[in-house]
Amino acid sequence: MTTTQSHALYERAVRVTTAGVHSNSRARKPYPLYFQRADGPFVWDVDGHRYIDLGMGNGAILLGHNHAAVQEAVARTLQSGLTTGLESEIAVRAAELFVKLVPAAEQVRFTNTGTEALLHVLQMARAYTGRRKIAKVEGAYHGWADPVFVSTWPNLALAGPDGAPVALPGTGGLDPKIVRETLVLPLNDLAATEALLSQHASELAAILVEPTLIDAGFIPAEREYLLMLRDFADKTGTVLVFDELLTGFRLALGGAQSYYNIQADLALFGKALGNGYPVAAVAGKAAFMEQSAPGPGNAAFVGTFNGHAVVMAAVEASLQELASGEAVALLQTRTHALIEAFAASAKRHGVPAQMQGCGGHIHWYFTGEPVRTYRQAARASSQRYSAFVDVLAESGFLVSPNYLLHHAISVAHNDATLEALAEAMDRGLAAAAQTEE
């Protein structure tokens, strides 16, 4: 496949844009692809090649690219001239619908990105508790801010014992003191996690958990683990925060809190909330949300682009499409069918591999046992993964070369595209079977 136009654009872009991309996750060797059009499950690059998208905006585009109802709502709002810096009826309607669909949320406030939402939540938790320290799970990505870009995709040679992970910076430029203050927890190890939390109980403002680690593929927390965190938070007055930026509206209509039937104090939402438009939200119990109201001692909640009218139109339209529950149910059915097809192919080819997923989030691990921790994922075969996804890419699928990232399908991925994916996975597993670890 020739990509001469992408190459040419890269040569132009790299002169004016670091690495030629605006997010490091889009960098590829020998150069990134550049795109010009998207519709349904498909994207077209500047060379005219069509791909079946298995990234879907990092899982944000649940309904499919260029969804008619969302685009029409955006177009209507653009014609009004209303954009930002003002409150609008559209934002009120979007908030009302959000609270209706997410039973765990008594109130919601909109912002622009997951990292912004995370920083708001941390300030709210500190204002509520009067404490400073936070705890997070090893391998979870919660944005690029100093307190949370910690032990995200850590090097296992430096990460310490399984039951007592060392806090490692996830990137250069972090404040080492802030990194050291973050308590890192081993996912799904109840005894070790409870022991670590107990040692720091009087210092902890918040326990931050992604109910499924999706930026490391798809690693679900066990319900007993989340229940233990809920119980600990109740006993110690610590704020329990669920990062639902990726699980929201995919694991269940009400997010992971509905899926697990466990209510956090505060939660972050985003991604599928706007079907690709830039939005995030902080939601939760009113007593905790009020910590961000104007007033002495409260946490600030400000932002010029918060509640941007055009984005709120996308949010309202997306939530209206999701409200019946049919879209989420369809994604669950299709995800399950793909997992069954992969398992049958892996058995036929004699490849130790797992496909894990829910609600359209999917990922593949080349290892013999179901993956329940980041460390298991990191020890899976990257060589077999590469051989597998190379075949998918040759078959016209847009996939990540990184074996510790994630993939997603949308409602727009119809039977034909999913049958093609099942066939490509079978060929990919045949290639993986011939690959040395």
Over its length of 437 residues, how does the chain's per-residue pLDDT go in tens digits?
A: 899 999 999 999 999 999 999 999 999 999 999 999 999 999 999 999 999 999 999 999 999 999 999 999 999 999 999 999 999 999 999 999 999 999 999 999 999 999 999 999 999 999 999 999 999 999 999 999 999 999 999 999 999 999 999 999 999 999 999 999 999 999 999 999 999 999 999 999 999 999 999 999 999 999 999 999 999 999 999 999 999 999 999 999 999 999 999 999 999 999 999 999 999 999 999 999 999 999 999 999 999 999 999 999 999 999 999 999 999 999 999 999 999 999 999 999 999 999 999 999 999 999 999 999 999 999 999 999 999 999 999 999 999 999 999 999 999 999 999 999 999 999 999 999 999 77
- What CATH number is given for 68-322 in this structure? 3.40.640.10
Q: Does residue 260 carry a catalytic annotation?
A: no
**Residue ranges matching CATH 3.40.640.10 in the chain:** 68-322
From the list 10, 34, 141, 259, the catalytic residue is 141
The predicted structure's pLDDT at residue 179:
96
Residues 75 and 44: their CA atoms lie apart, in Å, by: 23
CATH topology of domain 34-66+325-433: Aspartate Aminotransferase, domain 1 (3.90.1150)
Alpha carbon distance 228, 306 (integer Å): 34
**Cα separation of 250 and 210, whole Å?**
14
CA distances from 91 to 66, 309, 310 (A): 22, 7, 10
Instruction: Determine contact, residues 148/142, Cβ cutoff 8 Å.
Output: yes
Q: Are strands 204-209 and 239-244 parallel, antiparallel or unpaired?
A: parallel
Active site residue 100: no
The residue behind tokens 């619908």 is 97
CATH 3.90.1150.10, the chain: domain bounds: 34-66+325-433
Which pLDDT belongs to residue 436?
79
Q: 185 is written with which tokens? A: 């927890």
Q: What is the DSSP letter of 20?
A: G
**Which residue among the candidates 45, 146, 225, 271 is catalytic per the annotation?**
271
Per-residue confidence (pLDDT) for residue 1, from 0 to 100: 81
Residue with tokens 């920083």: 119
Q: What are phi and psi of 240, to 5 degrees?
A: -90, 120
Identity of residue 264? A
| Single pTM value for the model | 0.96
| 141 is a catalytic site residue | yes
Distances (CA, A) of 247 to 127, 339, 344, 345: 26, 18, 27, 27
Residue 333 makes CB contacts below 8 A (sequence gap 6+) with none
Other C-beta atoms lying within 10 Å of the C-beta of residue 233:
19
Q: Which one of 133, 243, 385, 403 is the catalytic residue? A: 243
Reference 289, options 260, 264, 316, 254; nearest CA is: 264
